Amino acid sequence: MKRKKKRNKVHINESWLLPYSDMLTLLVALFIVLFAMSEVDVERYKELSQVFKNEFSGGNNIFEHSESNVEMPAKTPIDLEKDEEDKEKDEDKGNRELEELKAVQERINSYIKENDLTRELGTKLTNEGLMITISNDVSFDSASAEVKPKGEEIAKEISKFLYSDPPHQIVISGHTDDRPIHNEQFASNWELSVIRAVNFMKLVLKNDDLDPEKFSAKGYGEHQPAAPNNNDENRRKNRRVEVLILPNHKINTDEL
């Protein structure tokens, strides 16, 4: 019988591992020295580590932090000067806007005085804009949203004061007193006040010089009274339509 040849076992030389491990050790030592020589912002390092700690430990999401401790870069003198210039420009625009609205108010007040309508119409200029108030007694019958002939005439005249270049946003709102209403046409004062505002707005927009896209109508029912609903005179004041001319720029009427 033939004898099986013995296979020689191959021994792998692992002597290279020693210098390799020495080299890795030297590299780690080098990185530690370089890190120690570098400047580290300890406070920001702590902040960053805290954010990551919260994120990975199930805390608040990084985007949910309401306050940031990261300092914003300080504004340069040029930035501060530009901010001041922008502020002055905005104030100039607001002052011009205020003067324009005051001129409109004076014209409306002249119309009110000339036509003896001080009981039916009124104006008020605030930071919100120029408000024109029309009593419902001159515009609508009780529990009705149909504009009376005298109300139609007033709507036509007011529309002339609403034109401007550039145009303003106009909000027309209806208001009632606190006496409840429930009939076949209106289930509540909300519905009544909304339809009154819309019908009055339709008459105003018969003026072709006005842009319908600048107009909107609202109804508040009895929920924004001008006076307490404790007597007939106050209830009369609360039954009204308001036309608000919004300013195109921020105005300040505190000094008026």
Is residue 201, in this structure, part of any structural domain at all? yes
The pTM (predicted TM-score) of the whole model is 0.68
Spatial distance between the Cα atoms of 118 and 111, rounded to a whole number of angstroms:
10
Supply the DSSP symbol for 179: -
Spatial distance between the Cα atoms of 239 and 178, rounded to a whole number of angstroms:
9
Is residue 59, in this structure, part of any structural domain at all? no
Is residue 68, in this structure, part of any structural domain at all? no
Residue 229 and residue 184 in contact, taking contact as beta carbons nearer than 8 Å = no
pLDDT tens digits, 61-90: 444 445 555 566 777 766 666 666 666 777
Is residue 51, in this structure, part of any structural domain at all? no
pLDDT tens digits, 208-253: 999 999 999 999 999 999 999 999 999 999 999 999 999 999 999 8
- Name the residue range of residue 188's domain: 87-245
Is residue 42, in this structure, part of any structural domain at all? no
- For position 231, which CATH number holds? 3.30.1330.60
Q: Which residues contact 106 (CB under 8 A, 6 or more apart)?
A: none
Is residue 231, in this structure, part of any structural domain at all? yes
Residue recorded with tokens 């006076």: 227
For the chain, give the percent of residues with pLDDT over 90: 60
CA distances from 219 to 112, 129, 191 (A): 25, 18, 7
Could you give the 3-state DSSP secondary structure of residue 160?
helix
Is residue 73, in this structure, part of any structural domain at all? no
Is residue 10, in this structure, part of any structural domain at all? no
Q: What's the total number of domains in the chain?
A: 1
